[in-house]
Amino acid sequence: MVRILLAEDDSSMREYLQRALQRVGYEVEAVGCGTEAVPLLAPGKFDLLLTDIVMPEMDGIELAQKASAIDPAIRVMFITGFAAVALQAGKTAPEAKLLSKPFHLKDLVAEVDRLFQSEDQHGRL
């Protein structure tokens, strides 16, 4: 089962995404900010970091950098309404998918599915 660490500061969005991803078969652990996510990271514990970019305390790009340093195999997907602004702020994000808000839940699920189906075809899962 694919394990996802979800970092989203909007509680209603976080709960909605967590429930929706669990309904389609993903194991999801959800936190409200990057500083809550970092202690949970360990090599091999999560397959995907799904994170908002704009969050208090630690933004999603910094979280993704820390996650990639801890576990180079973790995949990263950003979900944000501020993608262009955040990504142009001079920070370097690890290789990641980007899904801009607003998005349909089916689009999120399709992107996560696609990410791991392509890895299945290459024998990496």
For the chain, how many residues are written?
125
Mean pLDDT of 76-95: 63
Decide if 95 contacts 113 (C-beta within 8 A).
no
Mean pLDDT of 99-105: 77
If we measure between CA atoms, which residue out of 56, 35, 49 comes closest to residue 93? 49
Mean pLDDT of 35-43: 95
pLDDT confidence bin for 121, thresholds 50/70/90: very low
Decide if 44 contacts 71 (C-beta within 8 A).
yes
| Dist. CA 70–CA 84, nearest whole Å | 26
If we measure between CA atoms, which residue out of 44, 47, 11, 45 comes closest to residue 30? 11
pTM: 0.83
